[in-house]
C-alpha cells in the first residue's frame, strides 16, 4: 500500500509542482477566449443574485482569486474580497463553470497564472414587492391595464414567493369594492413531478419537478421554473405584467446557462453557449409573421468552442450541430451574407449522410430537396405554413361569425386583446391551446372557445416536404364599435 501511495504522489507531483506565475512574470497573460466582454456576458447571464438582498436593489461585486490552468479552467478558487456567505458562494460557483480561458504563455509554453476577477451582482429595486406579505403586488385599472396611479386602482394581483423569488402559493386577483379589496379569481399554485427532456442533459430525459401558477386555459400568472430533484434549476420562463413570455432560459446539469431567449412583440433573440462557457451563437427570429413560429431567421454571430469566430455581424460561414427535433444529430452549414442564407446549404447526419440540400440567393429560397426514407423529395419552399382552409377571407369570416362579446364586458364598455397559441398537428388537427397574453378571464375563455371550434379546419405545415407540428400565434381583439 505504501509503494502504491508513493507512486501516485510521484505521478501527480509534476502537475501539482508546476510554478504559478503572476501576470507581470509571463509573456502573454491569461484572458477569456473572445475577450473580457464575453466572460462578463457569461457572468451576467449565469449569476443569481440572492433574492432577499436584491429586493431594495443593489450594485456590488465580489472578488474571486484563482489559478488559470493550461487547459482553460480555473482552479483553487477562493474569495479575495467578499460580502457574505451567499454572495461569496455564488461568485465561486459561477466562475468555476467558466472553462474557456486562453491560458498564459511563457517561452511558447502554456503556464499556470494566478488571477483575481470581479463578479458583479446588480439588480434593480423591486418596487412592487410587499415585504409584509412576501409577495409581488401589481395594480390594474378598470381596463385591466397596469397602473401606478392610486386613483385608478380597480384590480390587483398578489403573487406569493419563496426565499428564492419563485412562486410558492396560489396567485390571487382582487377587485376594489367599497374601498375594500375582495377576491375575484384564484390561480392555483402547482408543483408537479415530470420527465424533463433537453438537448443539454446528456440523456433522453430526467426526473424533475416544475412549479407554476396557471388557470384552466393554461395562461401563466407567474414564472414557470423546472428543477432537478436536487433543486438545481433546469429551465425558467418569465412573463411580463401582461402575461406574455419575455425570457426563456435552459441550463445543463451543472447549472450553466446554455440557451437564453429574450422575447419581445417583434423578435426572439437567442444566445447559446458551449459546455465550457464560450459563447456559441447569436440568432434573431422575426416574430411579426402571422403564421407563427416558422419565421424569418437572421444569423448574426457564430464561434467555435476555442473562441474562433466564423460568423461576424451577419457575414461568414455557419455550421452548427443540433439534436432538437431529430432522433440523430443534424449538422447544418452554409454561407451567410448580411444575416441571411446564401448559396448552397446542406444538412447532414454526423456520419455524413445527406438529409437535405437547399440553394439561396441573399435569403431568398431558390430550390431544394430532402432525402426521406431513401427517396429524394423536391420542394418549392423550405417551410410551409399551416393555413385555414379557404384562405384568410374565410378565416376572418369564421372569427367574425363565431365570436361573442362577453356580456359583462360589453355592459362595462371594456375592451381587450387576447394573444393565443395552439399547435397545428401533422394531420391538420389542433392541440396544445394556451393563452400567451391574457386580456381578462372572460375574454380568454371566449377566445379559446372560438379557436377550439376551428379544429379540423386547417391544413398542416411542412418542413422540407414533410408535415410537421407548427405552433401558431393568434391575437383576437375584442372592441365595441
Task: Report whether 157 contacts 173 (CB < 8 A).
Answer: yes
In angstroms, rounded to a whole number, what is the distance separating the alpha carbons of residues 417 and 396? 16
Instruction: Measure Cα distances from 452 to 403, 423, 455 in Å.
Output: 12, 11, 6
Mapping DSSP onto H, E and C, the string for 240-274 reads CCCCCEEEEEEECCCCCEEEEEEECCCEEEEEEEC
In angstroms, rounded to a whole number, what is the distance separating the alpha carbons of residues 158 and 173? 6
Q: Which has the closest alpha carbon to 420: 471, 374, 375, 364?
A: 471
pLDDT at 339: 94
Question: Matching CATH topology for 19-123 and 387-478?
Answer: no
In angstroms, rounded to a whole number, what is the distance separating the alpha carbons of residues 425 and 460? 6
Q: What residue ranges in 126-205 does DSSP mark as E strands?
A: 129-130, 135-140, 155-160, 171-177, 180-187, 189-196
Phi, psi of 422 (to 5 degrees): -155, 165
3-state secondary structure of 290: coil
The CATH label, of 2.60.40.10, 3.40.50.12780, 3.30.1150.10, 3.90.960.10, for the domain at 387-478 is 3.30.1150.10
Each residue's pLDDT tens digit, 93-141: 999 999 999 999 999 999 999 999 999 999 999 999 999 999 999 999 9
Q: What is the Cβ-side half-sphere exposure of residue 379, based on CA atoms within 13 angstroms?
A: 20
pLDDT at 17: 59
- Which H or E run includes 367? strand 364-372
pLDDT at 68: 96
pLDDT at 473: 85
CATH classification (class only), 19-123: alpha beta
| pTM, two decimal places | 0.83
Q: Which has the closest alpha carbon to 273: 314, 320, 227?
A: 320
> One digit per residue, pLDDT tens: the chain, 481 residues?
444 444 433 444 444 558 999 999 999 999 999 889 999 999 999 999 999 999 999 999 999 999 999 999 999 999 999 999 999 999 999 999 999 999 999 999 999 999 999 999 999 999 999 999 999 999 999 888 889 999 999 999 999 999 999 999 999 999 999 999 999 999 999 999 999 998 888 777 899 999 999 888 778 889 999 999 999 999 999 987 667 788 999 999 999 999 999 988 788 999 999 999 999 999 998 765 443 344 478 999 999 999 999 999 999 999 988 764 445 788 999 999 999 999 999 999 988 999 999 999 988 999 999 998 888 999 988 888 898 998 889 998 998 899 898 888 888 788 888 888 899 999 999 999 988 888 888 888 899 999 999 998 999 988 888 888 988 888 888 887 6
Could you state, in order of their start, the residue ranges of all structural domains in the chain? 19-123, 129-187, 264-384, 387-478
Amino acid at each position: 500500500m505504501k509503494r502504491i501511495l508513493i507512486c501516485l504522489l510521484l505521478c501527480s507531483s509534476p502537475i501539482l509542482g508546476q510554478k504559478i506565475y503572476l501576470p507581470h512574470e509571463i509573456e502573454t497573460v491569461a484572458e477569456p477566449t473572445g475577450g473580457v466582454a464575453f466572460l462578463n456576458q457569461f457572468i451576467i447571464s449565469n449569476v443569481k443574485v440572492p433574492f432577499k438582498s436584491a429586493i431594495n436593489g443593489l450594485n456590488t461585486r465580489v472578488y474571486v482569486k484563482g489559478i488559470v490552468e493550461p487547459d482553460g479552467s480555473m482552479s483553487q478558487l477562493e474569495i479575495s474580497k467578499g460580502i457574505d456567505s451567499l454572495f461569496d458562494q455564488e461568485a465561486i460557483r459561477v466562475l468555476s463553470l467558466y472553462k474557456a480561458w486562453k491560458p498564459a504563455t511563457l517561452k511558447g509554453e502554456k503556464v499556470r497564472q494566478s488571477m483575481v476577477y470581479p463578479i458583479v451582482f446588480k439588480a434593480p429595486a423591486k418596487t412592487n414587492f410587499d415585504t409584509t406579505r412576501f409577495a409581488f403586488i401589481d395594480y390594474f385599472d378598470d381596463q385591466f391595464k397596469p397602473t401606478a396611479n392610486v386613483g385608478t386602482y380597480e384590480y390587483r394581483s398578489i403573487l406569493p414567493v419563496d426565499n428564492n423569488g419563485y412562486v410558492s402559493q396560489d396567485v390571487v386577483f382582487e377587485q376594489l369594492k367599497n374601498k375594500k379589496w375582495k377576491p375575484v379569481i384564484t390561480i392555483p399554485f402547482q408543483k408537479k413531478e415530470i420527465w424533463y427532456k433537453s438537448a443539454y442533459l446528456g440523456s433522453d430525459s430526467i426526473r424533475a419537478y416544475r412549479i407554476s401558477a396557471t388557470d384552466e386555459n393554461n395562461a401563466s400568472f407567474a414564472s414557470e421554473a423546472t428543477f432537478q430533484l436536487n433543486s438545481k434549476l433546469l429551465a425558467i420562463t418569465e412573463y411580463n405584467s401582461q402575461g406574455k413570455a419575455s425570457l426563456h432560459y435552459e441550463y445543463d446539469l451543472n447549472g450553466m446557462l446554455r440557451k437564453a431567449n429574450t422575447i419581445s412583440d417583434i423578435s426572439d433573440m437567442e444566445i447559446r453557449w458551449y459546455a465550457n462557457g464560450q459563447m456559441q451563437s447569436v440568432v434573431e427570429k422575426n416574430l411579426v409573421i402571422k403564421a407563427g413560429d416558422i419565421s424569418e431567421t437572421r444569423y448574426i454571430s457564430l464561434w467555435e468552442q476555442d473562441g474562433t469566430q466564423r460568423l461576424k455581424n451577419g457575414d461568414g460561414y455557419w455550421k452548427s450541430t443540433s439534436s432538437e427535433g431529430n432522433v440523430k444529430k443534424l449538422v447544418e452549414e452554409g454561407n451567410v451574407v448580411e444575416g441571411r442564407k446564401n448559396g448552397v446549404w446542406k444538412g447532414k447526419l454526423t456520419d455524413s449522410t445527406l438529409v437535405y440540400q437547399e440553394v439561396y440567393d441573399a435569403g431568398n429560397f431558390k430550390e431544394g430537396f430532402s432525402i426521406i426514407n431513401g427517396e429524394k423529395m423536391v420542394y418549392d419552399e423550405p417551410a410551409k405554413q399551416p393555413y385555414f382552409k379557404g384562405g384568410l377571407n374565410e378565416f376572418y369570416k369564421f372569427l367574425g361569425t363565431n365570436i361573442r362579446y362577453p356580456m359583462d364586458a360589453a355592459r362595462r364598455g371594456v375592451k381587450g386583446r387576447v394573444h393565443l397559441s395552439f399547435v397545428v398537428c401533422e394531420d391538420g388537427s389542433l392541440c396544445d391551446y394556451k393563452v400567451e397574453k391574457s386580456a381578462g378571464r372572460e375574454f380568454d375563455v371566449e377566445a379559446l372557445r372560438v379557436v377550439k371550434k376551428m379544429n379540423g379546419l386547417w391544413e398542416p405545415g411542412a418542413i422540407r416536404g414533410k408535415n410537421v407540428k407548427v405552433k401558431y400565434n393568434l391575437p383576437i381583439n375584442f372592441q365595441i364599435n
